[in-house]
Amino acid sequence: MNYERMIETMTPEVYESLKLAVEIGKWPNGERLTAQQRETSLRAVIAYEAYRNLPEDQRVGFIDRTRPDGSQHGKDPLQPDVLRILTDD
């Protein structure tokens, strides 16, 4: 089975199990993930989220920057920064 097919057939239960394993660094049986297993599992979790078009706020790594009043806390890291050049005139 190739990687794309695996992601297509992954069940929500397997996705949640992989996500938890990456989060805590252990498999459900308590065995620690190797660095390679953690990386591969995280890639599978991210691919699953993209394939299923999960909303941004349900994806791994999402940071909610909304304050209780609805305004944004801090700047949007995806917006370009304005560069100002100061001269000695």
For the stretch 19-28, pLDDT in tens is 999 999 999 9
At 33-71, the pLDDT tens digits run 999 999 999 999 999 898 888 888 888 888 777 777 777
The partner residues of 26 in beta bridges, in order of sequence, read: 32
Residues 6+ apart with CB under 8 A from 3: 47
Query: Is it the case that residue 72 has pLDDT exceeding 80?
Result: no
Confidence bin at 86 (pLDDT 50/70/90)? confident
C-alpha to C-alpha distance for 77 and 69, rounded to whole angstroms: 20
Give the pLDDT of residue 67: 76
Q: Domain count for the chain, please give it.
A: 1
Q: Is residue 71 part of a domain?
A: no
Residue 49 sits at φ, ψ, to 5 deg, of: -65, -40
- Residue 45: which domain range? 3-58
Q: Is residue 78 part of a domain?
A: no
C-alpha to C-alpha distance for 12 and 79, rounded to whole angstroms: 33
Q: Is residue 51 part of a domain?
A: yes
C-alpha to C-alpha distance for 79 and 77, rounded to whole angstroms: 6
Q: Is residue 7 part of a domain?
A: yes
Q: Is residue 50 part of a domain?
A: yes
Give the pLDDT of residue 53: 87
